[in-house]
């Protein structure tokens, strides 16, 4: 409680400061002198202004990161000392948890409760988990038959990492990239999303306080096509770690191809969530509603295609509609809020456009279906459930990234597998059944990087995360993430 009251003052103070780039451990204004507006989506008012970076700022930040990568203070820091620094940063994040939670909540509209008890604690856990890996990135000795040789591998940091993150989980996405990169010994230039850059800037002061050598972590704020594109195109960036839309992911991959920069991409989704006839319906309904409405549906892994066995379809639909109608939509900072506003005017129009399209193409709204001005002046959209959806409708195919569920009946397990796998995406899937064979059969058959059985939206720093197909490639979290930030070097020592 005390942390929370102090946090309100600290957050206000922080928000109204000038917000510059964080380069070489210093706050550096944009070379252009330009700034961009940062909006509070709960009120549609300007929260503050943030530096609008361009190629010049990116050049400075990449130079700082390259220099830090060469410096002995980082290069020769022991893995243990690196792990201790990361753990220190995690401790500072825990000390400022309330503040970080309020900042993300204000900046992009996630319910405060979710930030306090979900995403910010997850970011802290993640940093600690990765701190432990710093001392455990091992090579192998290989029994070669080519002659009398001692052959071994070492895993070395890939170099300067350009990290570009989306607005839906600002702090968490930053830490997913930073954690593995730092554990591996890389240096980083991070570009947060223009809609929600503040928690990452707050994190930067904690980076200084933790005692990281200057230049190991740099942050440039700005727009995607400006600062983001400059980072992707920079010849001295060895690896791009991107989370965002599939469209931008493809363009990043094209640009990176020219210099063979390493790329990992965590992109869009249209995840199927399958409720079988034998499911525990109560659990399945609340889990599936969390699956689509958590974070206003602004989650790449949102369970937006809900397939329900025909024999329980009507009953399930009725319960889903009731659930959606009872959700408390409101100001993100209100502790009672279950769903906040969507992030921006653009997103608001996009989601409402999809809802209109759903109606137009013949789907039927059974809950929500519109904007929600009574929740406040912000970008509020009702939790919306569509029935009478067919697989070919736009709302069943395209990622909406908003609180809109498409509910469809199915008749057999093999049929639903085929329909689920039709999607170009393959990020996550949910399965609800009490039958162990059905559970494993579906888990095995679905084309998705993660399958949840009798659960949805559970994540752990130790469990790998990433997509099949157009949801991208590379696995963040778990030891798998370290692959993305290291190169394997093989060494031959002649024994003769």
Please name the residue that has the structure tokens 């995690």.
90
* Subset of 178-217 contacting Mg ion (CB under 5 A): 195-196
The answer to the question of residue 225 lying near ligand ADP (CB under 6 A) is yes
Q: How far is the CB of 234 from ligand ADP (least distance, A)?
A: 11
Residue with smaller CB distance to ligand ADP, 35 or 408: 35
Sole window of 8-16, 75-83, 162-170, 424-432 interacting with ligand ADP (rule: CB under 6 A)? 162-170
Angle value at C-alpha 183, between 181 and 188, nearest 5 degrees: 30
Pick what 107 binds: Mg ion, ligand ADP, none; C-beta below 5 to 8 Å, kind-dependent.
Mg ion
Burial group, residue 124, by CB count within 10 angstroms (0-12, 13-18, 19+): buried
Pick what 166 binds: ligand ADP, Mg ion, none; C-beta below 5 to 8 Å, kind-dependent.
ligand ADP
- CB within 8 Å of 201: residues ≥ 6 apart: 19, 22, 50, 192, 219, 221
* Subset of 82-111 contacting Mg ion (CB under 5 A): 107
The answer to the question of residue 191 lying near ligand ADP (CB under 6 A) is yes
Give me the residues paired with residue 273 across strands: 306, 430
**Cβ of 388: how many Cβ atoms within 10 Å?**
17
Pick what 38 binds: Mg ion, ligand ADP, none; C-beta below 5 to 8 Å, kind-dependent.
Mg ion
Please name the residue that has the structure tokens 């080519």.
146
The answer to the question of residue 251 lying near ligand ADP (CB under 6 A) is yes
- CB within 8 Å of 244: residues ≥ 6 apart: 164, 165, 166, 193, 224, 266, 267
Report the residue from 248, 261, 352, 482 that binds ligand ADP according to the rule CB under 6 A: 248
Report the residue from 179, 214, 244, 466 that binds ligand ADP according to the rule CB under 6 A: 244
Pick what 193 binds: ligand ADP, Mg ion, none; C-beta below 5 to 8 Å, kind-dependent.
ligand ADP
Burial group, residue 71, by CB count within 10 angstroms (0-12, 13-18, 19+): middle
Pick what 205 binds: Mg ion, ligand ADP, none; C-beta below 5 to 8 Å, kind-dependent.
none
The answer to the question of residue 194 lying near ligand ADP (CB under 6 A) is yes
Residue with smaller CB distance to ligand ADP, 90 or 248: 248
- CB within 8 Å of 77: residues ≥ 6 apart: 85, 213
- CB within 8 Å of 24: residues ≥ 6 apart: 60, 64, 67, 68, 214, 215, 218
Q: Give kind and range of the element (H or E) at residue 439.
A: helix 436-445
DSSP H helical ranges for 47-188: 55-70, 72-75, 79-95, 97-108, 112-114, 120-133, 170-184
Sole window of 134-142, 245-253, 384-392, 451-459 interacting with ligand ADP (rule: CB under 6 A)? 245-253
Sole window of 43-51, 223-231, 424-432, 448-456 interacting with ligand ADP (rule: CB under 6 A)? 223-231
Sole window of 22-30, 72-80, 143-151, 191-199 interacting with ligand ADP (rule: CB under 6 A)? 191-199
* Subset of 36-55 contacting Mg ion (CB under 5 A): 38-39
Q: Give kind and range of the element (H or E) at residue 36.
A: strand 35-40
DSSP H helical ranges for 16-95: 55-70, 72-75, 79-95
Q: How far is the CB of 58 from ligand ADP (least distance, A)?
A: 11
Active centre residues (catalytic): 266, 300
* Subset of 19-38 contacting Mg ion (CB under 5 A): 38
Measured in degrees and rounded to the nearest 5, phi and psi for residue 335 equal -60, -15
The residue ranges that bind Mg ion (CB under 5 A) are: 38-39, 107, 195-196
The residue ranges that bind ligand ADP (CB under 6 A) are: 164-166, 191, 193-194, 223-225, 228-229, 232, 244-245, 248, 251
């Amino acid at each position: 409680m005390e942390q929370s009251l102090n946090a309100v003052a600290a957050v206000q103070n922080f928000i109204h400061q000038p917000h510059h780039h964080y380069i070489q451990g210093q706050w550096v204004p944009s070379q252009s002198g330009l700034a961009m507006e940062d909006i509070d989506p709960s009120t549609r008012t300007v929260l503050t202004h943030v530096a609008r970076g361009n190629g010049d700022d990116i050049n400075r930040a990449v130079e700082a990161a390259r220099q830090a990568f060469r410096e002995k203070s980082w290069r020769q820091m022991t893995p243990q000392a690196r792990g201790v620094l990361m753990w220190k940063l995690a401790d500072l994040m825990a000390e400022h948890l309330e503040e970080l939670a309020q900042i993300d909540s204000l900046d992009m509209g996630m319910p405060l409760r979710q930030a306090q008890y979900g995403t910010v604690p997850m970011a802290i856990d993640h940093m600690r988990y990765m701190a432990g890996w710093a001392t455990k990135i091992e090579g192998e000795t290989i029994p070669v038959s080519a002659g009398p040789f001692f052959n071994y591998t070492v895993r070395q940091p890939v170099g300067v990492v350009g990290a570009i993150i989306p607005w839906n989980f600002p702090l968490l996405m930053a830490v997913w990239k930073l954690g593995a990169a730092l554990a591996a010994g890389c240096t980083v230039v991070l570009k947060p999303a223009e809609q929600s850059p503040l928690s990452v800037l707050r994190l930067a002061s904690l980076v200084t306080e933790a005692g990281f050598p200057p230049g190991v972590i740099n942050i440039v704020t700005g727009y995607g096509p400006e600062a983001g594109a400059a980072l992707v195109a920079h010849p001295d960036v060895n690896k791009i770690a991107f989370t965002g839309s599939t469209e931008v992911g493809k363009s990043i991959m094209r640009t990176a191809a020219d210099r063979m920069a390493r790329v990992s991409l965590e992109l869009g989704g249209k995840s199927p969530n399958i409720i079988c006839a034998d499911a525990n319906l109560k659990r399945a309904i609340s889990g599936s509603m969390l699956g689509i409405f958590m974070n206003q549906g602004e989650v790449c892994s949102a369970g937006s295609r809900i397939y329900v066995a025909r024999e329980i379809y009507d009953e399930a639909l009725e319960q889903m509609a009731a659930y959606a109608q009872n959700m408390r939509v409101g100001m993100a900072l209100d502790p009672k809020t279950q769903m906040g506003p969507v992030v921006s005017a653009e997103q608001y129009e996009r989601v409402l456009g999809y809802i209109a399209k759903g109606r137009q193409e013949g789907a039927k709204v059974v809950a929500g279906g519109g904007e929600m001005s009574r929740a406040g002046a912000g970008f509020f959209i009702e939790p919306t459930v569509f029935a009478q959806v067919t697989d070919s409708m736009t709302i069943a195919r395209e990622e909406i990234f908003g609180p809109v569920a498409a509910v469809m009946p199915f008749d057999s397990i093999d049929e639903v597998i085929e329909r689920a796998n039709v999607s170009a995406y393959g990020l996550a899937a949910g399965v609800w059944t009490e039958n162990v064979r059905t559970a494993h059969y579906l888990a095995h058959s679905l084309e998705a990087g993660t399958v949840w059985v009798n659960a949805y939206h559970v994540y752990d720093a130790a469990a790998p995360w990433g997509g099949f197909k157009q949801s991208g490639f590379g696995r963040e979290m778990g030891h798998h993430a370290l692959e993305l930030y290291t190169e394997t070097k093989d060494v031959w020592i002649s024994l003769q």
